[in-house]
Structure 1
Amino acid sequence: MSHTSKFLRAATCRLLVAALLSAATGAAGAAVINVSSASSSLAVGQNFSVNFSIGGLSGAQNDSLSGFDLNIRFDQGAMQLTGFGFTDPASGSNQLDLPEAGAFPFLGDALVSGNVIDAFGLSGNSAAILDAGQADAFTFLVLNFTAVAASQLSTIEIDLLDPSLLFTNSEADTLDTTIGAPGVSFSIGGSGTPLPEPGALALFAAGAAALAAARRRLSARTARSARTATALAGAAAMALGLTAALPAAAQAPAAAQAATASTAQAGDAAPETAGAIDAVVVAVEGQRLQLRLTGGGTRWVTVDTPASKSLVGKKVSGTSVARGDTFLLTNPKFAD
């Protein structure tokens, strides 16, 4: 189970119990969840879709859908999941992904495990945008299937006994919902173009693997985005603080570097030239030594093998040889 799905399922027991009680009592004003399909009679090889819709939203504060998490049971011997989407056919848009500057991206997935599809969606919109811009009735999930075997009666339905069944409002609290039509049933005739059983099983396995991989990528991308956003925010705050505290010369690194380069070119013993070294070790990082030269200035040099931190403070002599963008210290000799 992905971290994103676990996040959707992190509602408290109090919220879950409240949602189930609302469904059981049919509270007035509750949004209604319905499952539907265009046809109940299919042929082997026929493609079909199942829509999961919500209606009865008012547009009032907190009366909009921001997320859902549900398990859907289906007859895996008679049909296979071939795709899924979150676009409402009526509006042509994802009603949980409304236009909003600076909004987080919508997250959603559907993962097959045996005869259960674990589907979830999470809006990145603000509460104000969802409440004001979301339609009062729309399809929030579409599952695409192919009939693979004849069956007198096959059902696709929401698992109402799933303890993690959840619909959230724009404030990420439990949305008051009732279940109208929890599922749809189909009869699948033997006519049409049957899918060979080995091919069907292979396609099912490939589809499940692809869905699982997509979910893992989505979870990793979400985690990376969160970490990146946190790091950038911290870096920005630190940069602002440091810039304010630095003297004017330090706030213009390019100019300072240019001045340093100019001075080095004019001096007789520029620190960035190869030749004899007489210095003191002031820092060690792996195979890199930072040296304070006797004639003034510092230089980073590379040695053939990783160096010990115990060299810090020791005198060193040798010859530096240019190697690309660094200097190699040959025949180094260290002394106290």
Structure 2
Amino acid sequence: MAAALPGQAAVINLSASASSVAVGQNFNVDFRISGLSGALGDSLSGFDLNVLFDATAVQLTGFSFLDASGSVNQLDLSEAASFGFFGNAQASGNSIDVFGLSGNSAAALDAGQSDAFRFLSLNFKALAPRAGTAISLDLSDPNLLFTDSGSGSLPYTVNGDSVSLAIGQNTQVPEPGTLLLLLAALPALLLVRRRGAAALALSAGLVAALPASAQQPAPAQASKDASAPAAKAGDAVSGQILEIKGQRAQIRMSNGSVQWVSLDTPVGNLLVGAKISGKLVQGGDTLRLTNISISN
């Protein structure tokens, strides 16, 4: 399927990070553009599109406008006069409305933008088993738009407007060694039911033979330090990203406190666990993190 103007056209392509996942697993769908050139005006400066999906099978958990190869937004190039990048992705029913707009000048985009790059990545979580579920670009959307660096319509074709993946049941199988030990302990556990407390010693001995990892409970997740003061507007903060939901992130601050803040720049779920720093400013009812810097 194609939507193109006469002459050379850019190519839009969708790809998924996996062809099959289990319920509860996360995956990404990447949107790439290629076939651009250094010619005047032959650069991507904005886009407006709808993505179709089955909301009973998968859930949108995050998004990113960064190019995978260099972790750079190719519509937000370094330029002194730039007013920045604006973009968002919002799910409603079985559709996701996505837009992005560059604040760079035409000269900066034509000179500095790559000829091929990822301009959007959507992060999903599998919710229910499916033999195959599709995530696709809505080519019937009357507002589907890709703009060039001169704010005109960018000629394009679509090569792969949909991805499909299978979602299987999330079943966990014990390690072979642990499974054999558990089977060996089964007769003793039955004796407990028949003979009462006298068989408990035998069961305890078999449990002691299990690997240490099978005997010990999983460590509890670290909790918020109740004694740590919450950061406030005007503070320069640093910490670790614990969770990302849209343009909000839960951050464990360097003093131990855990807070949700709005992000001045969109961050994808792939950066959960990374270190982040910036300055907090008041943004309506929430704190907003500006001058963001992220490192591993």
Normalising by structure 2, what TM-score? 0.57
Partner of 1:49: 28
Unaligned runs of 5+ residues in structure 2 are 173-243, 250-261, 267-282, 284-296
Q: CA RMSD in A?
A: 2.7
Q: Is the 8 A contact 1:46 1:192 kept in 2?
A: no
Distance in structure 2 (CA, Å) of the matches to 1:25 and 1:138: 19
- Is 1:185 matched with 2:164? yes
Q: CA deviation at 1:38?
A: 2.1
Q: CA deviation at 1:28?
A: 4.4
Aligned counterpart in structure 1 of residue 64 of structure 2, from 69, 85, 90: 85
Q: Is the 8 A contact 1:33 1:179 kept in 2?
A: yes
Partner of 2:80: 101
Aligned counterpart in structure 2 of residue 155 of structure 1, from 110, 116, 134: 134
Structure showing greater radius of gyration is 1
Distance in structure 1 (CA, Å) of the matches to 2:171 and 2:7: 45
Mapping for residues 28-177 of structure 1, pairs under 5 Å: 28-177=7-156
Structure 2 counterpart of 1:74, one-letter code: F
SS at match of 1:66: strand
Normalising by structure 1, what TM-score? 0.51
Classify 1:180/1:38 alpha carbon distance in 2 versus 1 (closer, same or farther; 3 Å).
Answer: same
Q: Number of aligned residue pairs: give it.
A: 183
Of Structure 1 and Structure 2, which has the larger fraction of its residues in strand?
2
Mapping for residues 264-275 of structure 1, pairs under 5 Å: none
Unaligned runs of 5+ residues in structure 1 are 1-19, 194-205, 222-336
Distance in structure 2 (CA, Å) of the matches to 1:130 and 1:209: 25
- Which runs of structure 1 show a deviation greater than 6 angstroms over 4 or more consecutive aligned residues? 208-211
Summarize deviations over 1:68-121 as a string: whole Å, max 9, x none: 000000111111010001000112200000000021110000011101000000
Q: Is the 8 A contact 1:80 1:147 kept in 2?
A: yes
- What fraction of aligned residue pairs are identical, expressed as a percent? 54
Distance in structure 2 (CA, Å) of the matches to 1:122 and 1:209: 16
Q: Is the 8 A contact 1:47 1:144 kept in 2?
A: yes
Classify 1:118/1:57 alpha carbon distance in 2 versus 1 (closer, same or farther; 3 Å).
Answer: same
Q: Is the 8 A contact 1:75 1:154 kept in 2?
A: yes
Classify 1:183/1:41 alpha carbon distance in 2 versus 1 (closer, same or farther; 3 Å).
Answer: same
Of Structure 1 and Structure 2, which has the larger fraction of its residues in helix?
1
